[in-house]
Amino acid sequence: MRVVVDLSRCEGYAQCAFLAPEAFRMHGEEALMYDPNPDDARRDQVLRAAAACPVQAILVDRLEGPDSAVEATRS
């Protein structure tokens, strides 16, 4: 799966690092490090983390496949 974090939105609340520590990690107080290609086995964790982000900075699977490309152009 593909994950992109909009770091210009991220406020370092660390909800994602708490819910999916294998995919998201805080580096210092505010800098977020993340795995852009987490294993599909972590999908649920990553989706939960994305849903919990207070500023919706985590985008999941937005860059994959023709369908999502069409969706992106529509919105």
Residues 15-74 that bind ligand SF4 (CB under 6 A): 15-16, 24, 32, 53, 55, 57-58
Least Cβ distance, residue 65 to ligand SF4 (angstroms): 23
| CB-nearer residue toward ligand SF4: 33 or 69 | 33
Cα 21 to Cα 33: distance, rounded to the nearest angstrom: 10
Rounded Cα gap, residues 7 and 17, in angstroms: 14
Backbone angles phi, psi at 10, to 5 degrees: -55, 130
- Measure the CA–CA gap between 47 and 15, rounded to whole angstroms: 12
| Cβ-based nearer residue to ligand SF4, 9 or 65 | 9
Binding interface with ligand SF4 (CB under 6 A): 5, 10-16, 24, 32, 53, 55, 57-58
